[in-house]
Amino acid sequence: MEHTSTLERVLRGIALSLIVLFFMFPLFWIFLMSFQTNETILRIPPSLFFEPTLGNYKALITGKLDTAAGSLDIAFMKNLWNSVLLSTSAVVLSLILGVPAAYAFARHKFRGSEDIAFTLLSFRFAPPLLVLLPLTIYFQQLGLADTYVGLIWVYQLICLPLILWIVRGYFEDISADVEYAYRIAGHGWFATFRKIALPLAGPGIAAAGLLAFIFAWNNFVFALVLASADKQPVTVAALAFVTASGIQYGQIAAGIVLSITPTLAIALYAQRYLVEGLSLGAVKG
Amino acid sequence: MAGATAAPSNAPRKKGGLHISRSALPYVLSLPALLVCIGILIPFVTAVWYSLQRYRLSQPWAQKFNWGQNYLDFLYDSSFWNTLQISLTYAGLTVGIELVFGLSIALLLQKRSTLNNFVSIMLLMPLMTAPALAALMWKLMTNPGFGILSYFASLIGLEDFRWASSPSTALFTVVLVDIWVYTPFIMILLLAGLRSLPTQPFEAAALDGVPRLQQFFRITLPMLLPYILTATLFRLLDSIQQFDIIYAMTQGGPGDRLTVFQVEAYLDFFQSTNIGRSAALLMILWAITFFLSNIFIKNWLRLRERARGTA
């Protein structure tokens, strides 16, 4: 492979540039748009040169949108907060439920263990509406409709399989001998789990948590079906925002930028673990 | 494994720890996960039950068990066949293009270099964007009034290219968004696969002067096959259920142009309030995904065992 011709290197360069252009351009363009007034956005032909404004972000943060027709209240910050709250709580709950189970599945072969693990995995691939639509009716009866608790519980559908299968892999990678030695010294299983297994699998567990957070944050359909405007995360709220604000394109772009920044930042930070997370632990990066 | 499960019976136990009998321990640890399983299986069973009923919210008095009439009705229901056709077309197009595209990019980035690693990390960004928000981004870019892509289209002579709002180009537009979001998924899995392949066969082939194209078809592709299968099936399972991108972009429109399974079921449930039909549609989708996921899990497990070094 060493003797690559000049022609090949040029072609490779062109191909790479086109690929980067295709995948980066939309993000770049929306980012630019978020710093423009409606006036410059609507200008034809579009231009890369404009006087940047922070007005769109200011409108979103203060919750006051000044339009030609008057002032409009927007609750985008509330939705952003909903996203933070829902995703964080869902991941924490998932870790509490999933890590001990992952440990049990990794260390003990017991009756039904594989059945539970695979049932959970299969949830990841079943149509979410199949569960969500009947749930809307149950949630009405249980008083869980349009509550954070109800949503966080449903979010387990995405977080739990991910955490369980990735963390299980990390526990399996740790040699059981270390734990055995610690137990021989007279420590109980809980001390062994806490002092040996957890710290060794720690980085993996943290990465699984971050990935589950990304998937929870990016989820759309759960909250669309189960939450009213007041409880909606940004993914659903942004869509409603488009309809409500009509032509405030700059603010929509700013809203999108604010909504995708957290997941992009986490993804860049945890990118080493991304392959493993995306394949539910089947491929190592 | 056996060492860890055998209790050191003669070792003195520390006082104050949690004492749970050894045989019960794994059950106790996995109980919460089990409860979540049951909590999800209940609505699933309810959905099966709904799918066998005549159940419209607008006619609550007429709710009754109708022995699979909902399923039989599909046979003569042209909008069902439209749903099936558009779902399969969408899944086939997106996964097919993403596979070719993703594999090509992975091959291009195969060599570990600063530039290649940088590009592969950049390409992760669309994948980490919420699909619903990605659809909104493309909606802004394809707006007929100011969208940059509409402008580009007009530059190359497509004066009135209406993207997602025209029945003839709506499918193309949502497929394009799907490709933008999910090609990196296939790329990153295949790249990891490519980089984990043993180097000896390639060195031997290079020594023997095997042409590169032949190397690719005879060595790379067969060795990469488990990764390709897993990535493709994974994507296929998600793509046949696509909801976010299509709903955020067009809500299934224009007309019924993009009413894929989940979008159609959603509209049935909330707009026509025909619960029975909605549930039956989802059951059919579930049957398709169940079939696919069984094949998927076999491949996925094999790959997982390889990654864990137990195979």
Complex-level ipTM: 0.91
Find chain A residues with C-beta within 8 A of B105's C-beta: 19
Q: Is residue A274 in some structural domain? A: yes
CB atoms near residue B32 (< 10 Å): 17
> How many Å lie between the alpha carbon of B165 and the closest alpha carbon of chain A?
16
What is the residue type of A50?
A: F
**What is the dihedral sign for C-alpha A263, B188, A212, A241?**
positive
Distance separating alpha carbons of residues A148 and A82, to the nearest angstrom? 9
Q: Are the C-beta atoms of residues B155 and B269 closer than 8 Å to each other?
A: no
Distance separating alpha carbons of residues A140 and A278, to the nearest angstrom? 34
A178 in the same domain as A232: yes
Flag residues of chain A having pLDDT under 50. Answer: 1
- Is the CB of residue A44 less than 8 Å away from at least one CB of chain B? yes
Q: Using CB atoms, pick whichever of A30, A44, A176 lies closest to residue B137.
A: A30
Q: Is residue A284 in some structural domain? A: no
> How many Å lie between the alpha carbon of B154 and the closest alpha carbon of chain A?
11
- Is the CB of residue A188 less than 8 Å away from at least one CB of chain B? yes
* Domain final residue pick, A36, A57, A73: A73
CB atoms near residue A221 (< 10 Å): 20
Q: Are the C-beta atoms of residues A166 and A276 closer than 8 Å to each other?
A: yes
Q: Is residue B52 in some structural domain? A: no
> How many Å lie between the alpha carbon of B245 and the closest alpha carbon of chain A?
10
- Is the CB of residue A131 less than 8 Å away from at least one CB of chain B? yes
Cis bond upstream, residue B26 (ω within 30): no
Query: Considering its fold, how many domains does chain B have in total?
Result: 1
A85 in the same domain as A50: no
Q: Using CB atoms, pick whichever of B105, B127, B297 lies closest to residue A118.
A: B297
DSSP helix/strand/coil, A70: strand
Strands, E assignment, chain A: 64-67, 70-73
Q: Is residue A283 in some structural domain? A: no
Search chain B and give the residue with CA nearest A160. B33
Q: Is residue B62 in some structural domain? A: no
Find chain B residues with C-beta within 8 A of A184's C-beta: 8, 11
Along the 311 residues of chain B, how does pLDDT read in single tens digits? 333 444 444 444 444 445 566 677 878 888 887 887 788 888 889 988 888 888 888 777 777 888 888 888 888 888 999 999 999 999 999 999 999 999 999 999 998 899 998 999 899 999 999 999 999 999 999 988 888 888 888 888 877 888 888 888 899 999 999 999 999 999 999 999 998 888 888 888 888 888 888 888 888 899 999 899 999 999 999 999 999 999 999 998 888 889 999 999 999 999 888 888 999 999 999 999 999 988 888 888 888 888 877 54
Q: Is residue B253 in some structural domain? A: yes
Longest CA–CA span in chain A (Å) reads 76
Q: Is residue B300 in some structural domain? A: yes
A199 in the same domain as A177: yes
Contact state of B286 with A283 under an 8 Å Cβ cutoff: no
Full domain range(s) for residue B301: 89-272+283-307
Q: Using CB atoms, pick whichever of A23, A189, A236 lies closest to residue B25.
A: A189
> How many Å lie between the alpha carbon of B30 and the closest alpha carbon of chain A?
4
Search chain B and give the residue with CA nearest A251. B140
Q: What is the DSSP letter of A193?
A: I
A195 in the same domain as A65: no
Distance separating alpha carbons of residues A117 and B33, to the nearest angstrom? 9
* Domain final residue pick, A28, A45, A73: A73
A186 in the same domain as A61: no
Specify the pLDDT at position B154: 84
Distance separating alpha carbons of residues B307 and B296, to the nearest angstrom? 16
Q: Is residue A161 in some structural domain? A: yes
Specify the pLDDT at position A284: 78
The residue written with tokens 């002579």 in the block is B157
Q: Are the C-beta atoms of residues B296 and B233 closer than 8 Å to each other?
A: yes
Q: What is the DSSP letter of A71?
A: E
Q: What is the DSSP letter of B216?
A: I
A170 in the same domain as A232: yes
Query: Considering its fold, how many domains does chain A have in total?
Result: 2
**Which CATH number goes with the domain that contains B113?**
1.10.3720.10
In terms of C-beta density within 10 A (0-12 exposed, 13-18 middle, 19 or more buried), how is residue B230 classed? buried
Q: Is residue A238 in some structural domain? A: yes
CB atoms near residue B254 (< 10 Å): 16
A98 in the same domain as A20: no
A165 in the same domain as A252: yes
Q: Are the C-beta atoms of residues A68 and A136 closer than 8 Å to each other?
A: no
Nearest residue to A100 (alpha-carbon basis) of A159, A202, A168, A158:
A168
A247 in the same domain as A123: yes
A94 in the same domain as A48: no
Q: Is residue B116 in some structural domain? A: yes
Q: Using CB atoms, pick whichever of B30, B148, B304 lies closest to residue A113.
A: B30
Full domain range(s) for residue A226: 76-278
Q: Is residue B51 in some structural domain? A: no
Q: Are the C-beta atoms of residues B197 and B116 closer than 8 Å to each other?
A: no
A11 in the same domain as A62: yes
Find chain B residues with C-beta within 8 A of A83's C-beta: none
Contact state of B32 with A97 under an 8 Å Cβ cutoff: yes
**What is the dihedral sign for C-alpha A58, A148, B276, A221?**
positive
Encode pLDDT of A51-84 as tens digits: 888 888 888 888 777 665 666 667 888 899 999 9
Nearest residue to B176 (alpha-carbon basis) of B276, B101, B283:
B101
A219 in the same domain as A195: yes
* Domain final residue pick, A73, A91, A115: A73
Please give the model's pTM, rounded to 2 decimal places.
0.90
Q: Is residue B3 in some structural domain? A: no
How many residues make up chain B in this entry? 311
DSSP helix/strand/coil, A65: strand
Q: Which of A12, A23, A47 to mutate to test the interface with B (most CBs of B within 10 A)?
A: A23
Q: Which of B128, B210, B282 to mutate to test the interface with A (most CBs of A within 10 A)?
A: B128
> How many Å lie between the alpha carbon of A70 and the closest alpha carbon of chain B?
23
